[in-house]
Amino acid sequence: MFASKAVARQHFLSARTARPAGDLLPSARSLPAVQSARRIALYVSMGPEPKTGALIDWLLSGNHEVLLPILYADNDLGWGIAPGAADLVPGRLGLSEPRTDLGSAAISTADLVICPALAVAHDGVRLGRGGGSYDRALTRVTTGTPIWAAVYDSEVVDALPSDPHDHLVHAALTPTGLLPLG
């Protein structure tokens, strides 16, 4: 167990910089929950995160709607429909975002949510970057909608520090597969 979230974040961020980036498309495209979802909330990966670009393109070519986050000044998230990677605009903190904001409640219309994480524990605790953006957004997800954290296999661990406001996830999506949690 890590002594604090800050220690855990530093550990996982350091480990990511030493690894080649993995792509989520090969493991995600065959999953029934992905294939049947009409609207999927996802994110545009950055740096050493598990890559989402090919997955977004594949979803859009298969007539799925993809919701992408828009980071507000208060670190809450709005959501917009992905028009395609070439049509995204620069957002806060170097993020790529859709032009049109459907508001923070739009995530409640998703059939599946795939969110970024630095690590997840087998009990569903998700470790984010510390801004609280996704913990707030995930409270708006409709009950029963699957929530998956995108991580690498080595980032699925036995335990992580958590706080009462942390929102649990149902599974870890890695470049090699889907691991149910909780």
- The answer on whether 65 is annotated among ligand-binding residues is no
Q: Which residue has the tokens 């393109």?
A: 57
DSSP-derived secondary structure for 36-80: H-SEEE-----TTSPB-HHHHHHHHHTT-EEEEEEE-TTS-EEEE
- The answer on whether 129 is annotated among ligand-binding residues is yes
- The answer on whether 97 is annotated among ligand-binding residues is no
Q: Which residue has the tokens 């959501």?
A: 79
- The answer on whether 144 is annotated among ligand-binding residues is no
**With contact defined as beta carbons under 8 Å apart, do 115 and 151 qualify?**
no
- The answer on whether 94 is annotated among ligand-binding residues is no
- The answer on whether 44 is annotated among ligand-binding residues is yes
- The answer on whether 31 is annotated among ligand-binding residues is no
- The answer on whether 38 is annotated among ligand-binding residues is no
- The answer on whether 131 is annotated among ligand-binding residues is yes
- The answer on whether 91 is annotated among ligand-binding residues is no
Q: What is the dihedral of CA 82, 71, 172, 13, to 10 degrees?
A: 120
- The answer on whether 141 is annotated among ligand-binding residues is no
Annotated binding site for ATP: 126-134
Per the annotation, where are the binding residues for substrate? 44, 49
Residues contributing to the annotated binding site:
44, 49, 126-134
